[in-house]
A and B are shown apart, each in its own frame.
Chain A
């Protein structure tokens, strides 16, 4: 007893000490900032300098074809270019390819390539190089990861002449060009890829605006300006060599440290700002907050339709009515994340805005539906039917990334009110629990993608021997729509197809969409020109650092 009281005394003492010291520090900071704001007047032509950018996790490899992580894209976007670029409106524009045509049957694309481009190691960029790259992705020896899914249904390519290449697909695909613009299909130097083999990820060579300098594992990745660069895409203003001399990507997993290192000016910018720090940074006169919503599939909870009683649409709809997504997103993200309404995120072709506001929490309706289905509340408040309790096994695969574990906890509370017991399991081993044993009733996932065809992998009936989908949905009508959507060339018809699919998924309560993830960057006001591409990844071609 005595001991715990003295312990609290010490704690209080320590807390007071911290508060006093931080109070002094804050006062000092604000005087600094006024001096800086007045100096910021002559903005514009700063050249040179080193941009330090703190990443939240370490890239797995700098070989675009072998990477499976979004964080890698932030770094490899500086080193590699793509054949084409996708603008935020979905249109496809030239990059390393200057023009292209599609065959009548939609199964082959002929690209004209830009001349005079060289890889950082001096290798000329040409049709041979492109062929090498595309073939490399499908070669099992490459151990390609996410890039392999992006390149499908690629079958082969033919070199027509030095700067013309014909790419053949197994079947037409409206998603192919958009996928070709993604960083994971960036063009690597064939010379380097042959020389380094599986170590290309440590010795990356591309044609991008920055050349690779070094990678100290778990510390930093350094890239330097490519002086010869003059083929920047339409997404950036500066098509030539970058303004800054170098970028140092520091790897800082602990969020408090990451934000602390921007606030203490140890780095100029840091990604993934936790929601609780956003307000403070917005009010900080030295800092700016940049935000870009990522595009693709929002963070979505998938019902496992293979398991009873979740194969019953009424039970799923009851859960849909019982879960108050609005309050979850508001509570956890303090108004900084947007709530998701559909299987797709806003900003992607075919996004159905009419779904916004369509599902609202209604406890009475949820109770009524469960009553109707024969689920009766027991003395413990949990519903049961035929001696079977109504429990929902909620699995999450990350140690509270973006507060996802808290979402599970809130849903557990909300569903308790209608008599559903939620068992939450947090496990790193989703490969076994989710993909091998299907041992879940609800599981969340999200995906960055630029084309609504992303839905195919999540909702199309999986073929024999193929990996089944998260929802286990199998509906011939949806299969047909997804197949049509993949090949439909008329954009209006495509929009119509994807609208139908999204409406179905919400009406049938196959999923509970939760939030749209915003990519946030806190940066010193000295930094100008950080842009974001159509998927929400940062671009550093236009960056300037004011002295």
Chain B
């Protein structure tokens, strides 16, 4: 087990390095000159533009720029924003907790609603609960996030006044954005759980359990659900990554602070150091998530655990 985790960690480092290189190249090759985006093109003289380019090291060839960047990063120096000279690392560390909180709460909402409704709808197939669950599933996956967000604002802040429409002050301001993202996630999980439950329920081992005289409840929750969870966990792992990406939209709609808005702004402004820094940290999260998903398999499914041991 430990060995597996170690080898996974090693590949993870490679993945993070690869992501950094890739993003660096993409940003480098994108059309548009960051200096021209920084200085107002209608007032800056060509001389000013040239000075700034030298100052930022943008006059150097690509490989030198990249080597400088990567060397600094290994020393823990992620550079300064090209736009307002803010150091990148403190900026990311400051904003990450808000995004993590948002992702965490929306994941909890998505998983709770998703698994509950998914299981219930499979058990009560074609009943009222099934109808509601499929409605939630369809709604979650088909509504654009920003539209759901605005709908929730109109309902719960403008009309009912229950939650603030925007901001990042305390838990109450977290509810609507997390619900927006959570609803999207729930949509996927409901469908996944429902389908895999239905598949498992029809398998011969369930018939065998029934024949042994086990109660329906014990069969469903003790055996069927456990088997249905394996593909679901994979989906959830990927989904949390999606939710993290979804914070870009949700943080803008709800005017929340966070990493999503930082990267959106930085991309617009071609602020290379900031984009790089954010990608580096988010790739760490993706990698850790994947690792957790793999480990959790072995807890849910004894077969995986045995396979690892041998």
Contact surface of A with B, Cβ cutoff 8 Å:
7, 10, 14, 18, 21-22, 24-26, 58, 60-61, 68, 140, 143, 145-146, 148-149, 198-199, 201-202, 216-220, 250-254, 256-258, 260-261, 263-266, 428-432, 434-436, 457, 465-467
Contacts and interface: CB of A to CB of B under 8 A. Distances in A.
B85 A198 contact: yes
Contacts of A18: 151, 154-155
Contact of B33 (A7, A257, A261, A431): A431
B61 to A, nearest CB: 20
B252 interface: yes
A533 B232 CA distance: 59
B155 A261 contact: no
B43 interface: yes
A148 B48 CA distance: 11
B191 interface: no
A540 B36 CA distance: 34
Given A68-B40, A429-B32, A431-B32, A250 B84 contact: no
Contact of B31 (A61, A432, A467): A432
Given A198-B85, A219-B167, A22 B252 contact: no
25 contacts: A10-B138, A21-B155, A22-B154, A68-B40, A149-B40, A198-B85, A202-B84, A217-B95, A217-B257, A219-B256, A252-B255, A253-B252, A253-B255, A256-B150, A256-B253, A257-B153, A260-B153, A260-B158, A264-B164, A428-B268, A429-B31, A431-B32, A457-B42, A465-B46, A466-B45
B214 interface: no
A467 B32 CA distance: 17
A155 to B, nearest CB: 15
Given A218-B261, A429-B31, A431-B36, A266 B151 contact: no
Contacts of A198: 85
A264 B257 contact: no
B167 A250 contact: yes
B40 A145 contact: yes
Name, among A143, A218, A265, the residue most crowded by chain B CB atoms within 10 Å (CB to CB): A218
Contacts of B165: 257, 260-261, 264, 266
B159 A24 contact: yes
Interface in B135-184: 135, 138-139, 142, 146, 149-151, 153-155, 157-161, 164-168
B175 to A, nearest CB: 14
A467 B46 contact: yes
B200 interface: no
Contacts of A265: 161
Nearest to A201: B84
Interface string B248-266: 0001111111100110010
B44 interface: yes
Interface in B226-260: 251-258
A264 B157 contact: yes
Contacts of A143: 38-39, 48, 52
A222 to B, nearest CB: 12
Contacts of B45: 466-467
A84 to B, nearest CB: 21
Given A202-B86, A218-B261, A432 B36 contact: yes
A256 B36 CA distance: 31
B309 to A, nearest CB: 46
Given A18-B155, A218-B251, 9 more contacts: A7-B142, A217-B86, A217-B257, A219-B167, A220-B167, A256-B150, A257-B255, A260-B158, A431-B37
A264 B161 contact: yes
B284 interface: no
Interface residues of B, number: 57
B305 interface: no
A218 B135 CA distance: 35
Contacts of A264: 157-158, 161, 164-165
Contacts, number: 149
Contacts of A256: 150, 153-154, 253
**In terms of DSSP, what is the predominant structure of the interface of chain B?**
helix
Contacts of A257: 149-150, 153, 165-166, 253-255
A135 B23 CA distance: 40
Contacts of B37: 431
Nearest to A251: B255
A101 B268 CA distance: 46
Given A21-B160, A143-B52, A218 B167 contact: no
A198 B165 CA distance: 34
Contacts of B167: 219-220, 250, 266
B91 interface: yes
A146 B36 contact: no
A36 to B, nearest CB: 15
**In the complex, the 10 A-B pairs of residues with the closest C-beta atoms, listed nearest first:** A25-B159, A149-B43, A431-B36, A429-B32, A261-B165, A252-B255, A264-B157, A198-B85, A260-B165, A68-B40
A435 B42 CA distance: 9
A138 B266 CA distance: 27
A431 B41 contact: yes
Nearest to B258: A218
B297 to A, nearest CB: 33
A140 B48 contact: yes
A198 B84 CA distance: 8
A60 B41 contact: no
A10 B265 CA distance: 36
A164 to B, nearest CB: 30
Contact of B164 (A217, A254, A263, A266): A266
A22 B33 contact: no
Contacts of B120: none
B15 interface: no
Nearest to B162: A264
A300 to B, nearest CB: 14
Contacts of A457: 42
Contacts of B157: 260-261, 264, 266
A22 B155 contact: yes
Contacts of A266: 157, 164-167
Contacts of B41: 430-431, 434-435, 467
B273 to A, nearest CB: 14
A26 B252 CA distance: 26
Name, among A58, A216, A264, the residue most crowded by chain B CB atoms within 10 Å (CB to CB): A264
B112 to A, nearest CB: 22
Name, among A198, A465, A466, A467, the residue most crowded by chain B CB atoms within 10 Å (CB to CB): A467
Nearest to B135: A10
A10 B85 CA distance: 49
Contacts of B139: 10, 14
Name, among B85, B95, B253, the residue most crowded by chain A CB atoms within 10 Å (CB to CB): B85
Contacts of B68: none
B138 A254 contact: no
A456 to B, nearest CB: 11
Contact of A148 (B33, B43, B51, B258): B43
Contacts of B288: none
Contacts of B159: 21-22, 24-26
A219 B257 contact: yes
Contact of B32 (A7, A202, A250, A432): A432
A146 to B, nearest CB: 5
Nearest to B269: A60
Nearest to B254: A257
Given A21-B160, A24-B159, A252 B36 contact: no
